[in-house]
Structure 1
Amino acid sequence: MILYIAEKPSLARAIAAAFPSPQKKEEGCIWLPNGDCVSWCIGHLLEQAEPHEYNPIYKSWNLDHLPIVPTDWQWQEKANTKKQLGILKKLIKKADVLVHAGDPDREGQLLVDEVLHYTKVSVQKLKNTQRLLISDLTPSAVKKALHNLRSNSEFADLSRSALGRARADWLFGLNLTRAYTIRGRQAGYQGVLSIGRVQTPILGLVVARDKEREDFIPKNFYQVWAHIQTEKNEHFQAKWLPSDACQPYMDEENRVLSLPLAQNVAQRISNQPATLIDANYKQKKQSPPLPYSLSTLQIDAAKAFGLSAQQVLDTCQILYERHQMITYPRSDCRYLPNQQHKDAPAILAALKQAGGDKADPSRKSKAWNDKQVTAHHAIIPTTQAHKAASLGKTESLVFGLIARQYLMQFYPDYEYLASHITLDIAGGRFEAKGSTPIKAGWKALLPDKKNHQDGEDETQNELPRLDKNSSLWCTKGEVKEKVTTAPAAFTDASLLGAMTGISRYVKDKKIRAILKETDGLGTEATRASIIELLFKRGFLTRQGKQINASQTGRALIACLPDQLVTPDMTAQWEASLNRISLGESSYQSFMTDLEDNLHQLISRSKDVPTSALQNLPAPSKKPFAKRKTASGKKTTTTSRRKTTTKKRSKPAS
C-alpha cells in the first residue's frame, strides 16, 4: 500500500481527485480504488517540547535557570491534533511505500519529515520514501506532479536546515523572552517581553524610524529652473546643476540651502541665450514586471487597497485551497519553469474577461527561467480562473492583481522615447529630462493613473528635438522653494518592503551582502504573522495607515543589545541555514556556535539597566485584536496558551 501524506486536508483532497473513483472516505484519510491511501497532517502535528518536560523546575521562570539548552531534543504531540496523528501512526505502519507531500518549501519539508521520524519509521522505509512536489492544486497539475516523484532523501539537507531554524528560534525566543520578562517584572512591568530573531529587529526598525521622524528638523532648499524657448516657439524647462564651487552652500544631498545664491543664478540667466551642450534621444523598451511572490503581492495589495499582510495571505490561502484559482501562494520566487509555458493558452482562455483575449500565448517573457526557480515558482492563476465572478470583494481584488501580473507576461514591452538635454546658460550647467510614451504594451493593463513612464517628478512628458544648430533662449530663471520632509512612517506596504529589502538598513558591508543574497527578514510564510504578533504583544500601534512603536515597544528596544535589535544576527543565521540546505555546512556546527552566543546574551541580560521598563502602561488584557478576515467579517484571534510570566511564552521568530 502506498501512503500519501499531505501537509493539510485540502492538499490531500486535491491529490485524491487526481486518482480514479470510486474512493472511500474515512476519518482522517481517503482510500483509493487500488488500495492506496491519502492522509494528511493539519499543519504541524508536533511541536518542540516545553522546558518543564525536560525538568519540572523550569515551570517557574527564574534567571538562574537560563539558558535552558536541551541535550536530547524532544517532540511533543499537539493537543488539538492528537487524533489525526494517531490515524497517521497506524497508516504509516501498514504502508509499504510512503510519499511525502508537504508544501514545497523548507517548513513543508520538515513538517512531514518530523512525523516520519517521530513514528520511528524503519531505515529502509525512510530510504524508499518519495517526495511529491505540488504548487498547483488543479487535477491536471497534480497528475503531472504524481508522474515526477523524487526521492525524499534528496531533501534531507533542506529538512536539517528547517530543523536548525526551529530549534534556534526555540532557544533564543524562549530563553531571551524569559530573561527580559523577568527583568521587566523586577522593574514593575507585568507583561511578557517577547524576543525573537525576526520580530525584534522589525520592532527595532519601527522604533528607529519613529525617532528619526521626531528628531527631524525641516529645512528650506532651492532649485533654479530655466524656462527655454526654441526658434520654433517650443517650450521646456531645464534644472540648474550646481558646480563644485557651490558646495559650501549645499547639504550632503547636493541641495542648495542659500536663497541669495539661487536668486543670483536665476537673475543671471534671465533673457540670455542658451547653448546646447548635448541632446540625447533613445527609444527604449521596458519589460513587464515579473509575476508575484507573496511579499511583492502583499506590498502591492497594501498600496492599492490598504490590505494588511495577513489579510492578503489569508485571501491567497482561500484562492489556493478552496477555489483552486491560484498556484501555491507562500512562494518567495518570481520566476516560472519553462515547462509551465505550455499551460499558458488554457490559463489565458480562463482569464478572457481580464484581458486574456488580447494576450499572445506564444510570447515568452523573462519570467520563464528554470535557473531562477527554487522550490516553488511565482504565484499565477490556474485554469480555474474562470470562476472569478463568484469571488467575494477582497478575494476578487487580490486575484485581480495576480491575474493582471500574469497577463502582462503575454503583452508587448512598453516603449518610450527617453530624452536628455544639457545646456550652458551664462556659464551655468542645466539639464532637462523627458519621457514620451510610444507604445503602451503591458502598461495598457494598468489603471490610467499608473499608465505612464515611472520616474522623477522632474521628468517632462515630451522634449523638443534639438541639434547643434538649434537656437535657444532662456526667457526667465525661476527659483523654486522646497522643504525637506521627514521620512514617512511605516505602513503595511513599506514595512514589508523593509523586511524584504532589509540590506538597505545595514551598515556592515559583509552583513549587507549576506542579506542581499537571502530573502531578507523572515520568510514569505511568516512575515504577516510576525507583524501581527507585534501588534498583539502591544509593541506596535496603528494610526490610520501608519505603523508606530508603542511606549512599551520603545522601552524594550532601549534595553536590548544591538545584536538583538539589528538584522545582523538573522542574516548570519540565514546564511548558515542556507549552507546547511545546500549540504555545504553542518547542522551541528551551526547549533554549537548558536549556543555559545546564547550564553553570552543571557549573561548580558542579567546586568542590563531596566529603568526604561519602569512606569510603563499595563499590558492589555485583550492582546489579540479583532481583524477582518478575507471575507470581510471580523474575527478575534485567541490562543489556548496563556502568556503570563508564570507560564511559558511561545518563542517566536
Structure 2
Amino acid sequence: MILYIAEKPSLGRAVADALPKPHRKGDGFITVGNGDVVSWCIGHLLEQAQPEAYDAEFKKWSTVHLPIIPEQWKLEVKSNTRKQFTVLKKLIKEADTLVNVGDPDREGQILIDEVINHCKVSKAKIKSAQRCLISDLNTSAVKKSLAKLRSNTEFIPLATSALARARADWLYGINLTRLCTLRGQKSGFSGVLSVGRVQTPLLGLVVHRDLDIENFISKPFYEVFVELKTSSNESFKAKWKPSKACEDYMDEEGRVLSRKLAETVAAKVINRAGKVVNVVQGKKKQAAPLPYNLSTLQIDAAKRFGLSAKQVLDICQQLYERHKLITYPRSDCRYLPKEHYADSGKVIAAIAKTCGKLASAVSGADLSIKSKAWNDCKVSAHHAIIPTMKSFDGGRLSSGEANVYELVARQYLIQFYPPFEYGEKQIDTEVEGGLFIAKQKEVLKEGWKVLFPTNKASQQRQENSPNNASNKATKTDDNNASTASLSDAGQIQDGFASAKLPNVKKGNELLCTDAQLIDKQTSPPKHFNDATLLGAMTGIARYVNDPAIKKVLRETDGLGTEATRAGIIELLFKREFLSRKGKEIRATVIGRQLITSLPANMGYPDMTAHWESQLDAISQRKMNYNQFMQPMTQDLSQLIDEVSRVEFKGLQGLGKASFKKRKTGTKKKFTAKKK
C-alpha cells in the first residue's frame, strides 16, 4: 500500500481526486480505488519540546539555567492534533511505500519528514520514501506531479536546513526571551519581552528609522540650471554638475551646500558662450519583469491596494486552495519550468474568462514570445506564482481576491509582450569651465508596459515598484543631470521628456541665455509602511553594516522567508512592539525601549541575514548542520553574557501582565503568569 502524506487536508483531497476511484473516506484519511491511501497533517503535528521536557527545573524562569541547550533534541505531539497524528502513525506503520506531499518548500519538507521519523519506521522504508512536488491543486496538474515522483532522499539538505532553522530559533528565542523578560521584571516592566532572531532585528529596522526621522536635521542645498540656445535658436535646459574642485562644498550625496558657490556659477555663465563637449544617444530595450514570488506580490499589492503582508498571503491561500486559480503562493522563486510554456495558451484563456479587465490584454498576447522567465536552472522545489488553467466566474471572487488575481495574471501576461523600448540622449556642455548636463528619454515602443495603469498616480506606483525592471531606466538622477528646472517641471514625467533635445554635435557653439539658482532642503527618510517594510526584509543587504556579510548576501538576500515574513510582522503588532498610524508603521514606546536597551548587534540584521544565507547554503549542500549550529551556540552564550548586564530602565511601569491569585498563609499574593 502506498501512503501519500499531504501537508494539510485540502492538499490531501486534491491528491485523492487525482487517484483511482471509487474513494472511501475514513477518519483522517481517504482510501482510493487501487487500495492506496491518502492522509494528511494539519500543519505541524509535532513541535519542539519546551525546556521543562528536558529538566523539570526549567519550568521556572531563572537566569541560573541559561543558556538552555539540549543535548538530545525532543519533539512532542501537539495536543490539538494528537488524534490525526495517531491516525497517521498507524497508516505509516502499515504502508509499504511513503510519499511526502508536503508543500514545495523548506517547511513542507520537514513537516512530513519529522512525522515519518518520529514514528520510528525502518531505515529501508525511509530510504524508499518518495517526494511529490505540487504547486497547482487542479486535478490535471496534480496528476502530472504524481507521475513525476522523486526520491525523498534528494531533499535531505532542504529538511536539514529547516531543522537547523527551527532549532536555532528555539535556542535564540527561548534563552533570550527568558533573560530579557527577567531583566525587564527587575527593572519594573510587567509582561514578556519577546525576542527572536528575525523579529528583533526587524523591530530594529523600524526603531532606527523612527529615530533617524526624529533626529533628522534638514539642511539647505543648491542646484543651478541654465538655458542653452543653439545657432538655430533651439533652446533646452541643463543642470550644473559640480567638479571635483567643489568637493569641499558638497555633502556625501554630492549636493552643493554653499549658496555662494552656486550664485557664483549662475552669475558667471549667464550670457556666456558654451561648447558641446559630448553627445551620447542610443536606444535601449527592457524585457518584462519576471512573474511574482510571494514578497514581490505582497509589495505590489500593498502599493496598489493598501493590503498588509498577511492579508495578501491569506488571499493567496484562498485563490490557491479554495478556488485553485493560482499556483503555490509561498514561493521565493520568480522563474518557471520550461515545460510550463506548453500550457501558456490554456492559462491565458483561463485569465480571459476569469478577469474581464484583462480580456484585451489576453488578445494582445503573442505566445511566440518566450521571455527569460522559463528557465529550469533557476527552478528548484517550486516556481513563480502564476495563474492556473482553471477558469472561474470572476464576479464570485471577493474584491481582494479579484485584485490579487489580476496582479498575478497581468504579471504572467507581460511575459508574452515585446520589450519596452526607449531612446536616451545626453548633451554635455561646457560654459566658462563649468559642466552642464541635459538628459532626455523618450518612449519608442510601449511593449509590455501597455498592460499597466496609465493614470499618473498608478503609473508612478508601478515605476517605483522594486520588482519592476523599468525602475532604473525611468528614475531621474538628481545628482547627475536633468532636462528641466523647477520652473519647468512639466518637461519631465517619470524620467521621460515631453520635449526632445535638439540635434547638436560635439564642438557646436551654444549660448547660455539664462541661469537659475534653485534652493532645496534635504528631506528625512519616510516611515515604513507595509510595502517598504517588506521591501526592506527582502533586500536586507541595504541595512547590513558589515561589508563582508553584505558580500555574502548576493543571492540569499533576505530577512526571514517568504512563508514567515507576514507572520513575523503581525507578531510584532500582537506583542505591541509596533503600531500603525494611518499607512505608516511605527515602533511603540515598548518596542523602542527594547531595541535601544539591548546590545546594538541584536537590533541590526547582520547576524540574522548571515544565518539566512547559511541556511540556504545547507539546502544547497554547501554547508552542513554542524558547521551552522556549533558557531551559533557559541555566539549565543556570548550574547547571553552581554544581555545579563542590560537594565531596561526605560521600561519601568510599562507592559501588561495577567495575574492570578495564590493563597500563601493569610495573605493573597499576585504573581505574573509567564506567556
TM interval, shorter chain, is over 0.9
Distance 1:645 1:399 in 2: 47
Q: Which of 510, 514, 527 is the equivalent residue of 1:489?
A: 527
Structural mapping, 1:304-383, within 5 Å = 304-352=304-352, 353=356, 354=358, 355-383=361-389
Partner of 1:624: none
User: Deviation above 4 Å: which 4+ runs of structure 1?
Assistant: none
Structural mapping, 1:443-462, within 5 Å = 443-448=449-454, 449=456, 450=459, 454-456=474-476, 458=482, 459-461=495-497, 462=500
Structural mapping, 1:194-593, within 5 Å = 194-352=194-352, 353=356, 354=358, 355-448=361-454, 449=456, 450=459, 454-456=474-476, 458=482, 459-461=495-497, 462-468=500-506, 470-593=508-631
RMSD across aligned positions (CA): 1.8
Distance 2:261 2:645 in 1: 55
Secondary structure (helix, strand or coil) at the match of 1:277 reads strand
What is the Cα deviation at residue 552 of structure 1? 0.8
Partner of 2:656: 619
Instruction: Confirm or deny: 8 A CA contact 2:190 2:657 kept in the other structure.
Output: no
Structural mapping, 1:110-129, within 5 Å = 110-129=110-129
Partner of 2:151: 151
Distance 2:235 2:191 in 1: 65
Instruction: Confirm or deny: 8 A CA contact 1:558 1:612 kept in the other structure.
Output: no
What is the Cα deviation at residue 472 of structure 1? 3.0
Secondary structure (helix, strand or coil) at the match of 1:384 reads coil
Residues 583 and 415 of structure 1, relative CA distance in 2, 3 Å threshold: closer
Instruction: Confirm or deny: 8 A CA contact 1:521 1:570 kept in the other structure.
Output: yes
Instruction: Confirm or deny: 8 A CA contact 1:420 1:432 kept in the other structure.
Output: yes
Letter in 2 for 1:379: I
What is the Cα deviation at residue 471 of structure 1? 5.0
Distance 1:385 1:227 in 2: 57
Deviations 1:400-430 (A, max 9, x none): 1111111111000001111111111222110
What is the Cα deviation at residue 339 of structure 1? 1.2
What is the Cα deviation at residue 474 of structure 1? 2.2
Residues 564 and 555 of structure 1, relative CA distance in 2, 3 Å threshold: same
What is the Cα deviation at residue 107 of structure 1? 0.8
Partner of 1:189: 189
Instruction: Confirm or deny: 8 A CA contact 1:206 1:548 kept in the other structure.
Output: yes
Give the unaligned 5+ runs of structure 2. 464-472, 483-494, 659-670
Secondary structure (helix, strand or coil) at the match of 2:277 reads strand
Give the unaligned 5+ runs of structure 1. 622-643
Secondary structure (helix, strand or coil) at the match of 2:3 reads strand
Residues 480 and 588 of structure 1, relative CA distance in 2, 3 Å threshold: same
Letter in 1 for 2:339: Q
Secondary structure (helix, strand or coil) at the match of 1:93 reads helix
Distance 1:280 1:438 in 2: 17
What is the Cα deviation at residue 529 of structure 1? 0.5
Distance 1:439 1:611 in 2: 61
Distance 1:645 1:55 in 2: 22
Letter in 2 for 1:72: Q
Secondary structure (helix, strand or coil) at the match of 2:158 reads helix
Is 1:135 matched up with 2:160?
no
Q: Which stretch shows the higher mean deviation, 359-368 or 590-599?
A: 590-599
Instruction: Confirm or deny: 8 A CA contact 2:181 2:193 kept in the other structure.
Output: yes
Letter in 1 for 2:254: N
Residues 592 and 258 of structure 1, relative CA distance in 2, 3 Å threshold: closer
What is the Cα deviation at residue 321 of structure 1? 0.5
Q: Which stretch shows the higher mean deviation, 573-582 or 219-228?
A: 573-582
TM-score by length of 2: 0.90
TM-score by length of 1: 0.92
Partner of 2:468: none
Instruction: Confirm or deny: 8 A CA contact 2:228 2:235 kept in the other structure.
Output: yes
What is the Cα deviation at residue 385 of structure 1? 4.4
Secondary structure (helix, strand or coil) at the match of 2:526 reads coil
Secondary structure (helix, strand or coil) at the match of 1:383 reads coil
Instruction: Confirm or deny: 8 A CA contact 1:332 1:519 kept in the other structure.
Output: no
Q: How many residues align?
A: 625
Residues 174 and 469 of structure 1, relative CA distance in 2, 3 Å threshold: closer
Distance 1:27 1:235 in 2: 81
What is the Cα deviation at residue 196 of structure 1? 0.6
What is the Cα deviation at residue 11 of structure 1? 1.0
Distance 1:388 1:12 in 2: 26
Distance 1:50 1:137 in 2: 36
Distance 1:39 1:474 in 2: 79
Instruction: Confirm or deny: 8 A CA contact 1:22 1:32 kept in the other structure.
Output: yes
Secondary structure (helix, strand or coil) at the match of 2:390 reads helix
Structural mapping, 1:86-101, within 5 Å = 86-101=86-101
Instruction: Confirm or deny: 8 A CA contact 1:348 1:357 kept in the other structure.
Output: no
Residues 385 and 241 of structure 1, relative CA distance in 2, 3 Å threshold: farther
Deviations 1:438-485 (A, max 9, x none): 110000001113288622174451322222475533220011111100
Letter in 2 for 1:166: A
Secondary structure (helix, strand or coil) at the match of 1:517 reads coil
Secondary structure (helix, strand or coil) at the match of 1:516 reads coil
Identity of aligned residues (%): 55
Distance 2:639 2:672 in 1: 20
Distance 2:264 2:22 in 1: 88
Secondary structure (helix, strand or coil) at the match of 2:474 reads coil
Distance 1:95 1:79 in 2: 25
Distance 1:430 1:605 in 2: 55
Letter in 2 for 1:119: C
Distance 1:51 1:563 in 2: 26
Letter in 2 for 1:428: G
Secondary structure (helix, strand or coil) at the match of 2:444 reads strand
Instruction: Confirm or deny: 8 A CA contact 1:350 1:356 kept in the other structure.
Output: no
